[in-house]
Amino acid sequence: MLRFSKLSKAGMIAIIALILAFMYIPLFILMLNSFNEAQVSSWPIQSYSLKWWETASELEAIRNALLNSVIVALGAMVVASILGTLTAFALSRFDFFGKTTVNLLVVLPIALPGVVTGVAFSNTYSNFLTPAGFQIGYFGMIVAHATFCIVMVFNNVFARLKRMNPNLQEASMDLGQGVWGTFRLVTFPQFRAAFGAGALLAFALSFDEVVVTIFTAPPGVDTVPLWILKEMARPTQASVVNVVATVIIILSLIPVYVSQRLSRAADDGK
Amino acid sequence: MTSLLEKTKSTMPISSYLHLHPKVRLRALLALPMTWLVGVYIISLFLLLITAFWFIDPFTSRVRPGFTLENFVSIFTVPAYLSTSIRTLLIALGVTALCIVLAIPLGIYMAKIARPWVRNLLAVLITLPLWAGYLVKLLAMRLTFTENGFINWLLDPIGISGPGFGIPVVVLTLTYLWFPYMALPVFTAIRQIPNNLFDASADLGQKAWPTIFRVVLPLITPAIIAGSVFTFSLSLGDYLAARFVGGSTQMIGSIIAANINLNPPVAAAFSMVPIAFVVMYLLVARRTGSLERM
A39 within some domain: no
What is the pTM assigned to this prediction? 0.86
Q: A26 or A137: whose pLDDT is higher?
A: A26
Write out pLDDT tens, residues A55-111.
888 888 889 999 999 999 999 999 999 999 999 999 988 888 888 888 888 888 888
Per-residue pLDDT reduced to its tens digit, A189-237: 888 888 998 898 899 899 989 999 999 999 888 999 999 998 888 765 6
Q: Say if A115 falls within a structural domain.
A: yes
| Residue A23 in domain | no
Instruction: Report helix angle B134-145 to A224-233, nearest 10.
Output: 20
Residue B56 φ/ψ, nearest 5 degrees: -95, 125
Query: How many angstroms away from the CA of A198 is the closest CA of chain B?
Result: 15
Other beta carbons less than 10 A from residue A138's beta carbon: 16
Residues 6+ apart with CB under 8 A from A178: B12, B14, B15
Give chain A's count of helices (H) and strands (E): 13, 0
Are A179 and B18 inside 8 Å of each other by CB? Answer: yes
- For residue A270, what pLDDT is reported? 45
d(CA B258, CA B7) in angstroms, rounded, equals 66
What pLDDT, on the 0 to 100 scale, is given for residue A236?
A: 59
Percent of chain B with pLDDT over 70: 94
A3 is a domain residue: no
Contacts of B43 in chain A (CB under 8 A): 124
Determine the pLDDT at residue B27.
87
Q: Which of B102, B138, B179 sits opposite A15 (nearest CB)?
A: B102
Given an 8 Å threshold on Cβ–Cβ distance, is B26 in contact with A96? yes
CATH number at residue A131: 1.10.3720.10
Confidence of residue B10 (pLDDT cuts 50, 70, 90): low
Q: Give the domain extent around A197.
A: 60-267
pLDDT band, very low/low/confident/very high, at A262 (cuts 50, 70, 90): confident
Whole-angstrom distance, CA of residue B113 vs CA of residue B187? 12
Judge whether B93 is closer than 8 Å to chain A, CB to CB: no
Residue A72 burial by Cβ neighbours in a 10 Å radius (0-12, 13-18, 19+):
buried
AA letter at A81? S
Q: Which among A218, A205, A200 is positioned nearest to A255, based on CA atoms?
A: A200
pLDDT of residue A268: 60
In a domain, A22, yes or no: no
Q: Which has the higher per-residue pLDDT, B90 or A34?
A: B90
Mean pLDDT of chain A: 86
As for how many domains chain A has, the answer is 1
**A30 in a domain, yes or no?**
no
pLDDT of B4 > 60? The answer is no
Average pLDDT score, chain B: 86
- Can you tell me the mean pLDDT for B165-193? 91
Least confident residue range of A145-159, A164-178, B244-258: A164-178
Residue A61 has a CB neighbour count (10 Å cut-off) of: 12
Name the pLDDT band for B174 (thresholds 50, 70, 90). very high
What is the interface size between A and B, counted as CB pairs within 8 Å? Answer: 257
Question: Tell me, what's the pLDDT at B291?
Answer: 57
Angle at A247 between CA B173 and CA B151, to 5 degrees: 35
Q: Is residue A129 part of a domain?
A: yes
Q: Please, which residues have CB within 8 angstroms of residue A134's CB and are 6 or more apart in sequence?
A: none
Domain assignment present for A66 = yes
Q: Which of B 270-289 lie inside 8 A of A, CB atoms?
A: 271, 274-275, 278, 282
Q: What is the rounded distance in angstroms from the CA atom of residue A108 to the CA atom of residue B36?
A: 13
pLDDT (tens digit per residue) in B185-229: 899 899 888 888 888 888 888 887 888 888 888 889 888 988 898
Give burial (CB, 10 Å; 0-12/13-18/19+) of A194: buried
Residues of A in contact with B264 (CB under 8 A): 123, 126-127
Q: What is the mean pLDDT of residues B77-101?
A: 94
Q: Which phi and psi (to 5°) does residue B63 adopt?
A: -70, 130
Q: Which structural domains are found in chain B, ordered by start?
A: 2-51 (no CATH), 72-293 (1.10.3720.10)
